[in-house]
Amino acid sequence: ALITLTYYLRTSMMMNLMMSHSQKWMNLYLTSEWLMSLIMSTNMMLPIIILLMNFY
Reported as a single tens digit per residue, the pLDDT across 20-54 is 777 787 888 888 888 888 888 888 888 888 888 88
Tell me: pLDDT of 1 over 80: no
State residue 33's pLDDT score: 87
State residue 24's pLDDT score: 80
Q: What DSSP string runs through 2-41? A: HHHHHHHHHHHHHHHHHHHHHHHHHHHHHHHHHHHHHHHH
State residue 44's pLDDT score: 81
Using a cut of 0.85, tell me whether the model's pTM lies above it. no
Extents of the domains making up the chain: 1-55
